[in-house]
Structure 1
Amino acid sequence: MRPSVPSLLRRSVPRSATSSRIAFNVARPATSSTSSSFLLHRRPYSTPSSSSSSSTSSPPRACWSCHQPCPPTTPLCSSCSAIQPVLPTSEGGPNLFQLLGLPEKGSFAIDEGALKLAFLRGSKDVHPDGFKGKGEIEYQLAQHQASILNKAYYTLKDPLPRAQYLLSLSNVEVQESDSITDQSLLMEIMEAREALDDAESEEEVESLREEHREKAKQAVKQLGLAFEKGDLQRAKDLCTELRYWDKAGEAGKDKVHPVD
């Protein structure tokens, strides 16, 4: 007897991948410097290397359709090509990097072009239109996989959520309520916001917003260095700083493009 659609979907990733508290629990990522260019795989999920120890390898699960062994990190059954539910990482399922066919241990340095190409390739493999004629179970699983893949892409695409996700892999959580403890930096940000509030001309507003964007770029560079050094506390502090500069950069948007 085949399982029902709801029972399969309940085993899939339960929470939004864009949340600052990501529902994945996997091994700590490598902290040494890595190349910014990721290798692409033929499938949207990467699987553990054959050189990996048995303690880190995921045991196969049974395909819900043909009941043959099926690695929990692959989207399709290698025996019958049935689409599979996405398991949480706590049950051996893929993390966000694996979902996009990238190396299991991610890096903050990332090639955005390679990331987009991996996303497009993965989306093609699990696009719901390709499963319309294969029954309700596969169609709904494809919709769910496509949704999770989309969330994974947008989490890893932008520096702040990518950094937050990498920290979550090491059980370091970044909260919206986290505040800047460096008083001189906090004062600098407050003064920048005040200057933007007081700006009158569109040219002045855009100039200040560009300064804020440049500050955000500097924070992103520092984040890369912090992850390379394995300084997770510094990376967490920089996430908070980057969030403040991002908000400061967006604060004058209505002044430049007023909302009717």
Structure 2
Amino acid sequence: MRPSVLKYSGSRLTLTYSLLPKPIPLCSYSPPAQHVPVYAHGNRIVSPRIPQFATQYHQDFSTQSPKRGAFHHDNVFRTEPARQKMCWDCEATSEREALVCENSECHAILPLDDDVSYFDVLVDGNTAFEVDFATLRKNYLQLQQKVHPDTFVHESVRNRQLADVQSAWLNRAYHTLRNPLLRAKYLLKLKGHPIKEGDSLEDSILLMEILESHEALEDAQKESEVEAIRLENDQRIRDTLADLSRAFLNGNWAEAKQLTIKLQYWYNIQDSTREWSLKTPH
């Protein structure tokens, strides 16, 4: 192969080369000089392994949607996680979200990969703020029955250990997805926008409103006064949840983050009204 020349045109880097008349080990076909797509990754140049096959893929991979064996928008070759996994006991394959081996003669409890989410297991992969609570509860009860530790008392040590782990995982998942505040925080984390310690509201007027509500609770003398605060706060929660749903639907993560912090404050006031009622003798 003669010395190569790199050329940059638009968003594509190409390599011009020519082959010697003598056959080379990788292929017996010697094409004329041609342009082959080459992709830059940092300081490295990545080109197809066999030149004549490369011309079939002379296109800008940055416009392709991510899929297995494709170049993503950042020009890094990646593969998606495998959609199935192998049972440690019978070696049958099951969906990666499965908690129990799908082989009807096995039913061993299966570990989950770290990237399997609560949404994947409990709401059929619908990763959204709005949750179908009927589906959530149905899937939770069915799965909890399958992995409950009491069912595996006489099974192998590994099955008993996995039963404890997966039963606890299911409880956390169910508790998180049915609670709007925990669900919002979890979804933000999945999307790469977690709420960190020190994050706070940027609305000073809203912060003043929150402080006034807490002061009103501290000064309240009668149940009717607390009830008025509770009703007003319940409406704030409903309004914030509606705004939060829209923010998630539109992919507005910054707004969703601020609304989640706001919701946290409203829930704190809700808890304070309940505590006031419990402390006050009737």
TM over 0.5: yes
Partner of 1:177: 198
1:63 maps onto 2:84 in alignment: no
Aligned in 2, Cα 1:201/1:74: closer, same or farther, shift over 3 Å? same
Instruction: Give the structure with the larger strand fraction.
Output: 2
**Quick one: which of 161, 182, 185 aligns to 1:140?**
161
2:197 and 2:229 map into 1 onto residues whose CA distance is 24
State the Cα distance separating 1:146 from its structure 2 match: 0.7
Quote the RMSD (CA, aligned, Å).
2.1
Aligned in 2, Cα 1:66/1:111: closer, same or farther, shift over 3 Å? closer
CA deviation string 1:95-139 (max 9, x = no partner): 111221x23241111122321122111111212222222222112
CA deviation string 1:50-104 (max 9, x = no partner): xx94343415443222234444322222343211122211xxxx2111221x232
1:107 and 1:243 map into 2 onto residues whose CA distance is 19
Partner of 2:223: 202
State the Cα distance separating 1:254 from its structure 2 match: 2.8
Partner of 1:42: none
Aligned in 2, Cα 1:121/1:195: closer, same or farther, shift over 3 Å? same
Q: Which amino acid aligns with 1:215?
A: R
CA deviation string 1:174-202 (max 9, x = no partner): 13532111111111111111111111111
Q: Which amino acid aligns with 1:56?
A: E
1:245 maps onto 2:255 in alignment: no
* Structure 2: gaps (5+ residues): 1-65, 69-78
How many residue pairs get aligned? The number is 204
Look up the SS of the partner of 2:199 in the other structure.
Answer: coil
1:99 maps onto 2:121 in alignment: yes
2:110 and 2:203 map into 1 onto residues whose CA distance is 47
Partner of 2:178: 157
Q: Which amino acid aligns with 1:87?
A: D
Aligned in 2, Cα 1:226/1:171: closer, same or farther, shift over 3 Å? same
Q: Which amino acid aligns with 1:177?
A: G
* Contact kept? 1:75, 1:85, Cα under 8 Å: yes
The answer to which of 65-74 and 187-196 deviates more is 65-74
Aligned in 2, Cα 1:59/1:211: closer, same or farther, shift over 3 Å? closer
1:133 and 1:257 map into 2 onto residues whose CA distance is 45
* Structure 1: gaps (5+ residues): 1-51
**Quick one: which of 115, 119, 122 aligns to 2:143?**
122
Question: Which structure has the larger Rg?
Answer: 2
Aligned in 2, Cα 1:259/1:85: closer, same or farther, shift over 3 Å? farther
**Quick one: which of 71, 85, 104 aligns to 2:111?**
85
Q: So what's the TM-score if we normalise by structure 1?
A: 0.72
Partner of 1:28: none
State the Cα distance separating 1:259 from its structure 2 match: 7.7
* Contact kept? 1:197, 1:252, Cα under 8 Å: no
Look up the SS of the partner of 1:174 in the other structure.
Answer: coil
1:220 maps onto 2:267 in alignment: no
2:178 and 2:273 map into 1 onto residues whose CA distance is 24
* Contact kept? 1:61, 1:71, Cα under 8 Å: yes
2:118 and 2:150 map into 1 onto residues whose CA distance is 23
User: Higher relative CO (CA 8 A, sep ≥ 6), structure 1 or 2?
Assistant: 1
Partner of 1:22: none
Q: So what's the TM-score if we normalise by structure 2?
A: 0.67
Aligned in 2, Cα 1:103/1:56: closer, same or farther, shift over 3 Å? farther
Q: Which amino acid aligns with 1:139?
A: R
* Contact kept? 1:62, 1:68, Cα under 8 Å: yes
* Contact kept? 1:58, 1:71, Cα under 8 Å: no
Identity of aligned residues (%): 33
